[in-house]
């Protein structure tokens, strides 16, 4: 499973938002969640954008890991 990380992402605000939205879509987050992220990320200054984006990337990674663990558990149940 790929973990998302802002390290190496172009520091341009639009690149950061695009990357974060891509991660959110990969985690199958709703359009409403994406729109809420964009509103919050654009709500203040660049430091706010970075903080909000990092928090959202952490949330995405947690969701992806939880989904993967759930799938592993389902496969384990099939083997029993």
Asked, for residue 50, whether it belongs to a domain, the answer is yes
DSSP string, 4-61: P-STTS-SSHHHHHHHHHHHHHHTT--HHHHHHHHHHHTTS-HHHHHHHHHHHHHHHH
* Predicted confidence (pLDDT) per residue in 20-65, tens digit: 999 999 999 999 999 999 999 999 999 999 999 999 999 999 999 8
Asked, for residue 6, whether it belongs to a domain, the answer is no
Asked, for residue 5, whether it belongs to a domain, the answer is no
Asked, for residue 58, whether it belongs to a domain, the answer is yes
Q: What is the pLDDT of residue 67?
A: 75
Asked, for residue 25, whether it belongs to a domain, the answer is yes
Handedness of CA 63, 65, 66, 72 (dihedral sign): positive
Domain residue limits at 23: 13-79
Q: Cα–Cα distance between 57 and 6 in angstroms, integer?
A: 8
Q: What is the pLDDT of residue 8?
A: 93
Q: What is the pLDDT of residue 79?
A: 43
Asked, for residue 23, whether it belongs to a domain, the answer is yes
């Amino acid at each position: 499973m790929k973990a998302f990380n802002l390290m190496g992402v172009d520091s341009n605000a639009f690149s950061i938002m695009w990357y974060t939205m891509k991660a959110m879509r990969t985690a199958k987050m709703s359009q409403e969640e994406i729109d809420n992220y964009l509103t919050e990320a654009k709500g203040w200054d660049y430091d706010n954008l970075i903080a909000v984006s990092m928090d959202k990337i952490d949330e995405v990674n947690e969701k992806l890991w939880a989904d993967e663990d759930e799938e592993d558990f389902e496969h384990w149940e099939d083997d029993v």
